Amino acid sequence: MSHQKDLDQLCINTIRTLAMDAVQAANSGHPGTPMGMAPVAYNLWQNFLAFDPADPIWPNRDRFILSIGHASMLLYSLLHLTGVKALNDNYETLDEPSVTLDDIKRFRQLDSKCAGHPEYRWTSGVETTTGPLGQGVAVSVGMAIAREWLSAHFNQPDFELFDYNVYALCGDGDMMEGVSSEAASLAGHLKLSNLCWIYDSNRVTIEGSTDLAFSDDIATRFMAYGWNVTRVGDANDLDMLARALKRFRDTSAGPTLIIVDSHIGYGAPNKQDSSDAHGAPLGEEEVRLTKRAYGWPEDAKFLVPDGVREHFSAGIGQRGAALREAWFAKFEAYTEQYPDLAEQIHKMQHGQLPDGWDKDLPTFAPDPKGLASRASSGKVLNAVAKNVLWLMGGAADLAPSTKTNLTFEGAGDLTPENYGGRNIHFGVREHTMGSILNGLSHSKIRPYGSGFLIFSDYARPAIRLSALMEIPVIHIFTHDSIGVGEDGPTHQPIEQVTSLRAIPGLIVLRPADANEVVEAWRVVMQLQHEPAALILSRQALPTLDRSIYGAASGVAKGAYVLADADDGQPEVLLLATGSEVHLCLAAYEQLKTEGIKARVVSMPSWELFDQQDEAYKESVLPSAVVARVAVEQASTLAWGRYTGLQGRVIGMDTFGTSAPIKDVQERFGFTPERVVATVKELVQSR
């Protein structure tokens, strides 16, 4: 064996043994896939990946996503051995490693950078949080779309600034999850030739052989999607894998799937059942036997032999540094020739908004008839997107209903013939839409996606991950209540708003009129580390006269006093969001004629309100006023945090029904008369 091949095998076995030792020390984790796929990951990183360990976020780096997040030790070993640098919270590179050997020794332990599954923002070099299978490959489609869009907008003759590739390592579990099918279908339709999925076909899951539940012909399936498919019959064949990766780089017609046949825990003699190797530590004796098979010191733990780090440094280290330096030199020349474009790239990469981004925000005049908040939101979206080039998105086949089409000149549709379009047609694919939005956000685009609120259930896993990763994705949901009417209980959301509010870090906003919509967008566009969910109506909402009622700018604080008792000393508080604010205002006027002093509080965002200081919260919801009525055409669950034990909630504790909107609202008691009666009952009982 040549010296080069000896070094290759030494590095591969180092990856394997670090994974075995870490899982064994933690007595938790998955050693099999890191062992089986170590040659594949090594070859990709060492010989192909355009990635600089000294600057893991330079804009034109290749992206590597470990969609099989349970194989996290494979990635952590690579991050350690290649010397990837850590970043601080401001995305500044530090002179310290992202993953230390001590982190690996403390795999899956408190505060280790080697968490059970890779976490974005926690460990530098992790491009996206993975773990729920299918999410990583779906996110990779968003990153690939982003590259094509960036190329279309910013590349110039002699200045190909954006030409990176996106690689995702996936497995049988990814292929079984429906989101991967959605993602692969759209990627094939869009002909994303910069996208490569490497499929570890080891035919093992937690329960045992995939024969139990999975017999798809993956190659045929992906060819039907419009992918280029190639196969590597042995994961240890570095030459065959290199040919497959070169073929991908030379292909300009559609995405590529490389099917790699591997065996869980490959190379371990007398190993236990392969499904156990997939999802549990090997055991001390099995670890020693496996190391013996590798020609490794049997009792050595967390060994990194001399020459391994140096070999990686001479490979990916030198290649990545040269590519990065050349890119920044090119960008410096680009800045001189195309200063306006360079400024846009700079602002986008740093999460900044362009000057004057909000200059065209409309102000809506008072109007008793008003607009559906989905309609006013569409107007605001177009006003903002016209001034923020990298604000883009679409709908899960519902743009005419969600009013999320960008209609100004030059917006266009993103298609294989026009990657510069800003309207993305996701098709009826809510789940992968959310994941693709996450991939776009990772690429510094400001993405939005839309659908009916009831279908947020289909997108929830991706929404949850956007919150976990602290990325500012915009989720727009319309048809927000039983006000959907005739479509009936299958389309009338009940628990969805409460469910979204339960996601930590997600900002949920349900505005009450067109001017609250404007202010909601003003808030959303300035978020940098929080995703947002805009909850919008299908039915028209009166546009309030702000010379009479509180200023809509109160939206920024989550809740504000909309109408108050004449002396500012209310005896009852009426709390509401969205369309129900108008019910409370009607009840307020009636109560006023009857001598009952009420205050109406619009609460578009619980999350923003809870962030305010105690003095402000007390000024809006004075603790001395215990008579409180909350009104929302949604689940009553959780409103008690604001109404208290002595308050009342007018909401939904059942599913809805199919009928015209007025009949539905009357059936479930969403009328001014019901609010008034509830207030009187409360006041009289005190």
Placement of tokens 């906003």 in the chain: 509
Q: In which band, very low, low, confident or very high, does the pLDDT at 3 lie, cut at 50, 70 and 90?
A: confident
- Kindly report the CATH number that applies to the domain delimited by 367-542: 3.40.50.970
Q: What is the torsion angle, in degrees rounded to the nearest 10, for the CA atoms of residue 234, residue 235, residue 239 and residue 245?
A: 120
Average pLDDT on 660-674 reads 93
Length of the chain, in residues:
686
pLDDT of residue 185: 98
User: Which tens digit of pLDDT belongs to each residue from 133-174?
Assistant: 999 999 999 999 999 999 999 999 999 999 999 999 999 999
Q: CB atoms < 10 A from the CB of 418, how many? A: 11
Assess whether pLDDT exceeds 60 at residue 1.
Answer: no
Q: What is the pLDDT of residue 266?
A: 42
pLDDT at 279: 63
Average pLDDT, the chain: 94
Does residue 580 surpass a pLDDT of 60?
Answer: yes
Hey, what CATH class is 3-324 in?
Answer: alpha beta
Phi, psi angles (nearest 5°) of residue 342:
-65, -35
pLDDT digits (tens, 9 = 90+) for 275-332: 344 567 889 999 999 999 999 999 999 999 999 999 999 999 999 999 999 999 999 9
pLDDT for 90 beyond 90: no
On whether the CB atoms of residues 384 and 357 are closer than 8 A, the answer is yes
Domain boundaries, the chain: 3-324, 367-542, 558-684
Tokens, residue 529: 């580390």
pLDDT at 273: 39
Backbone angles phi, psi at 539, to 5 degrees: -85, 155
> Which of 84, 82, 77 has the alpha carbon at shortest distance from 101?
77
Give the DSSP per-residue string, 591-602: HHHTT--EEEEE
| pLDDT, position 650 | 97
The matching CATH number, chosen from 3.40.50.920, 3.40.50.9100, 3.40.190.10, 3.90.550.10, for 558-684 is 3.40.50.920
Q: What is the pLDDT of residue 392?
A: 98
Express each pLDDT in 208-241 by its tens digit.
888 888 889 999 999 999 999 999 999 999 999 9
**Averaged pLDDT for residues 46-74:** 97
Do 3-324 and 558-684 fold alike per CATH? Answer: yes
454: helix, strand or coil: helix
Summarised one tens digit per residue, pLDDT across range 181-197 is 999 999 999 999 999 99
**Residue 601 β-bridge partners:** 561, 575
Q: What percent of the chain has pLDDT over 70?
A: 97
Phi-psi region of 479 (alpha: psi -120 to 50; beta: other; left: phi over 0): left
Task: Report the pLDDT value the prediction gives residue 215, as an integer from 0 to 100.
Answer: 84
| CA 291 vs CA 19, 31, 392, 653: distances in Å | 12, 13, 51, 60
* 3 state DSSP class of 370: strand
Task: Summarize pLDDT for 10-21 with one digit per residue, the tens.
Answer: 999 999 999 999
State the average pLDDT over residues 520-531.
Answer: 97
pLDDT at 661 over 80: yes
pLDDT of residue 375: 98
CB 142 within 8 A of CB 150: no
pLDDT in tens, 356-387: 999 999 999 999 999 999 999 999 999 999 99
57-79 average pLDDT score = 97
pLDDT score at 268: 42
- 269 pLDDT above the threshold of 80: no
Q: Tell me, what's the pLDDT at 264?
A: 63
pLDDT tens digits along 563-579 = 999 999 999 999 999 99
CA–CA distance, 492 with 23 (Å, rounded to integer):
47
Note the pLDDT of residue 404: 97
Q: What is the pLDDT of residue 281?
A: 86
> Which residues are catalytic, by number?
430
